[in-house]
Structures are given as C-alpha cells and as structure tokens.
Structure 1
Amino acid sequence: MPSFDSDGCAIYYEAHGDGPPLVLIHAISAGADMWRAQVERFSHSHRVIIFDARGVDRSGPIRGWHHIRHRMADDVARLLTHLGEHRAIICGVSFGGVIAQEFAARHADRVEQLILVDTYSDTRPTTAAKALWLASVYAGSISNLLPPSMLAKIMRRQYRRWPDAADVLADAVTRLRAIDALKTRCAITLVAYPKTLNAATFPILAVVGTESWPRSMTFMQELHAVVPRTRLLRVPESNDPTPLCQPNAFNELLAKFLTEYS
C-alpha cells in the first residue's frame, strides 16, 4: 500500500499514468476510491494522483483541532514533492474543493489550473441566509457521530437516484472515523478565498450539480461574480459529488477544460 510521511502522518496515495500531473481531492470522508471513473478516463493523458486525506480510511489520524486545513493543504504539497512534481492541476470536490483552495492560497506557484466542484469559497456570515446556513452546518456536524450502519442507510436514501454513488458513499461511511470527520467538518465550514483567488492568475473551472445541496448553486454563482475569470458550468441531474453522480458528464467537462489549457 503506497504511503508517505507528511509531517508525522502517513498519507495513502496512488499515481496512475504519465503526463501533466492531475491531483484529485475527494469529498469529505469519501476517500480516493471515489475517483475511479476519473482515473480510468484521464490516466491515458495525465499522471492522475489520488489520495486519502489525513483522518480518512488508509491515511493516518488528525492530531489536535488546530490548523487542520493548513495541514491538509500542505499534505498535497508534500505529496507532489514526494512524486517529483512541482506544479499540478488541482481538482477538488465538496470538502476537497475547500482543500484545493487552501492549497492554492498557500502554494499558488504550484497550481496550473484549479477545478472546484460542488463546493464553496466564501461562507462568512455576511447575510442572514449565510448565517443560517453556517449555523445549520455546525449543528449538523454531530451527525458524524452516528453509527456507521445508520450513516450508510442515510447515504443510500439520499443518493437513491444515483445508485453507483450510493454504493461508494455508503461503503465509505462504514469506515468513517467519527472524531476525525467531526474535526474536518468544523475545520472547513468557515472560509474566505475570493481575495486569494483574485490575486492569482491560474484558470479556474467551477462545476456544480443542479441537484446539489441547498446554497451550492448560490455559492458557485457568488464565486463566479467575485472572481470573474472563473468559468461556471452546471451538470443537470447531479448531486454532490458530481464526479460520482454524473461521471461521464463531469469527465467531458473536465476533458474540455484541460484540453483548452494544455
């Protein structure tokens, strides 16, 4: 099982294919296995790099409650260095989209292109709607402490329209580390990246499923408005994570974007 040491934490990873490096950062607790359709598609043209974030599945635990986003972003930087890569295309979905932006904020010189999927860039409670959303997410974080069997049933019910996604996510939560998942959820909830993204020059693609969670579309539209070079694309009949719910549609959008900036 390939892994490397990142500041005392063992990080599981896989690298497939040859070509420009493409790092795929998974949804919260989903792990590297959620990217199998993308590995199959893009490993013919890219070096596709997937991994389990610290606190998830085959990687080591999260130590403490502080600077978790920073540490996760630096894990990506160390992984690239471990593989002999300086710059990469960075793609993150949901939780992974937050970590992708944290990586871009801390290591802008290592980003070729940035792809953000079903995620958010600015959750500061500047409006009543955002404040309510923020409060609901913090309150809902305790759901990570539910028994894995119950979480698996919830996943299957929520994703019954997307059975392949339901299978992957239900399986993933059976291996959930409750406290690590709670730490992660708290760490990624309050963020603000537009200023950093505007200061950079790399191309940005934002993708969101039309059936994603409440406010997902609004968050992506807000990013497009405040970071004008962001290209915003919607995937019909898709929920978060779109790469699992509509893998073919997502792969086509990503392929076109990568081809344009190759």
Structure 2
Amino acid sequence: MPHAYAPDGTALHYELCGAGEPLVLLSGQSNDRRWWDPVVEDFAAGFTVVRIDWRGTGDSDRPDSESYSTRGFADDVVAVLDDAGIDRARVYGTSMGGRVAQWLAAEHPARVERLVLGCTSPGAPHGVERGPEVRRALSQRDPAAARRALLELMYTPAWIAAQEAAGRTEFTTLGDPTMPGHARRRHLRASARHDAWDALPRIKAPTLVVHGSDDAFNPTANAPLIAGRIPGARTHLVPGARHAYFEEFASVATPLVLDFLDERPA
C-alpha cells in the first residue's frame, strides 16, 4: 500500500485503481477512501483513480496536532500527487473533500485539469450553515439515534428502507469507525473553519458544482454561492437527493460527472 509523506512527516496512505488519465476523488469529513466504494469502479473504468485516506483516517497517520485544516489537506493531496508521479489531474471532491478541492484548485492551479465540487460549501461566514435542528439531531447523546439522524441526512427514507430490507447494515459515508477521538474533533474543526470565499475567484479550472436539491446537511443554497464565485462554473442540482447524492442517485450523478470530466476544450 503506497504512502506519501506530507511536509510535516505525516504518512498519507493512498490507493490507485483503474487505467487512463488521473482522477482524484476526495472524501467527506471523518471519512477515508472507502467513502467512494459504491461508485469507484464506474470512475476507474475510464480513469486512473486516486483515493486518499485523510490524515486521521484509514491507513494514514493520526497525529494529535494543529496540522488539520482544509488548506493543509490540500497540501497533503499535492504530496500524494508528487509521490504518485502525477503532474496534473481531474479532481472530484465532495462535502469536506469539496472544501479541500477549492484550495487545491485555487492555490495549485497547475495541478488541476478539471474540477467537480459536490455537496460542499465556501465556508463561513459567507456560506449557508446547517440549521439548529440538524445540529441538535447530530448531537444526541444516544449514539444510535445520532447515527440514524446522520443516515437520514445522507439518504432519502425510501432508499434507506430498501437497503435495510435487502439486509444492508453498513454505509461507507457515516465516518471511519476506527478514528480516534482527537482526529474526529480536529476534522470537525478543520471543516468548520473553512473559508475559501476570497480564493474561489482564483480558480481557473473548468468547474462543475453538483448538489442534492434536498440537502439539509450542507444546505443546497451553497451551490449557487460557490458557482457565482468561480469564473465560468456550472451548477447542477440532483432532484430529490440529499447529501450522499453521488451514491443514492449514482445513475444520474455519475454519468453527469463523467461527461463533464471527459469534455475537451473547444
């Protein structure tokens, strides 16, 4: 299993699969590379896919330090690209991964060929924060109730019911269960402190902003805010989708993203 090393010495595990031009898939907060398990094969059919375990997750190091930030995570992605010998890649980041992708494209423009920002936010103070009822649901003392609340923010009730009826009990978008508490807290703080508002106009890569129309976890109103700050960016809302639109609505979202990633300059 390959590891890259960040400037501070943190070992960063990553995985390559598929064949073709490189595509980096960036996962959500407190999640490792397995966030993408339900759809990775669809992307690997046409690209060499790079998946990364954020510091604090998966098989990467888990330092208890001040090294966790969305800007710093972007530097970690650069370290992985350097280790893998990739000069330039397409980048698809969702949720916190979309926050990281904003910094990557703004501060390392030569490394990003095309950019997809999914279910993400420009950050406070300009972004739209989740409502108090969502925060209360996620902070319940009963772990099972909090997990259920997160599940229902990710997916529609009908889809959850169908999955459970089929015997499914594990979902790869609900967080890396092996994360230590300090890493989980630092991920939360890094995501909450994200503010790329002033950096977004510096993004030069062709950009697609995708969001579920019914996303309350990271409110849908953030999509036009981001697109309005990035020159030439397009927006696509997936009707009826919640936060994990890329899994539940993969039949819509994956072809949409692949078509965009495959576009060539006119």
TM-score, structure 1 as length reference? 0.83
**Residue 34 of structure 2 contacts residue 172 of structure 2 at CA under 8 Å; is this kept in 1?**
no
* Residue among 218, 226, 244 paired with 1:223: 226
Distance 1:196 1:166 in 2: 40
Which deviates more, 30-39 or 18-27?
A: 30-39
Structure 1 unpaired stretches of 5+: none
**Residue 246 of structure 2 contacts residue 253 of structure 2 at CA under 8 Å; is this kept in 1?**
yes
- Structure 2 residue 209 is the aligned partner of structure 1 residue 209: no
Distance 1:109 1:35 in 2: 25
Alignment partner of 1:167: what SS?
A: coil
Report the AA paired with residue 108 of structure 1: P
**Residue 124 of structure 1 contacts residue 191 of structure 1 at CA under 8 Å; is this kept in 2?**
no
Deviations 1:126-162 (A, max 9, x none): 9xxx5xx38959x77x94x968656544444544444
Please give the root-mean-square deviation of Cα atoms over the aligned residues, in Å: 3.0
Report the CA distance shift for 1:251/1:176 in structure 2 as closer, same or farther (over 3 A).
same
Structure 2 unpaired stretches of 5+: none
Report the CA distance shift for 1:60/1:110 in structure 2 as closer, same or farther (over 3 A).
same
Distance 1:197 1:60 in 2: 30
Alignment match, 2:95: 94
Alignment match, 1:36: 37
CA apart distance, 1:93: 0.4
**Residue 34 of structure 1 contacts residue 244 of structure 1 at CA under 8 Å; is this kept in 2?**
no
Report the CA distance shift for 1:182/1:161 in structure 2 as closer, same or farther (over 3 A).
farther
Count of matched residue pairs: 255
Report the AA paired with residue 259 of structure 1: D
Distance 1:170 1:220 in 2: 20
TM-score, structure 2 as length reference? 0.82
Alignment match, 1:243: 246
Distance 1:148 1:209 in 2: 26
Superposition pairs for residues 176-215 of structure 1, below 5 Å?
A: 176-213=179-216
Alignment partner of 1:76: what SS?
A: helix
**Residue 22 of structure 1 contacts residue 90 of structure 1 at CA under 8 Å; is this kept in 2?**
yes
Alignment match, 2:112: 111
Overall identity of the aligned pairs, in %: 25
Distance 2:5 2:34 in 1: 20
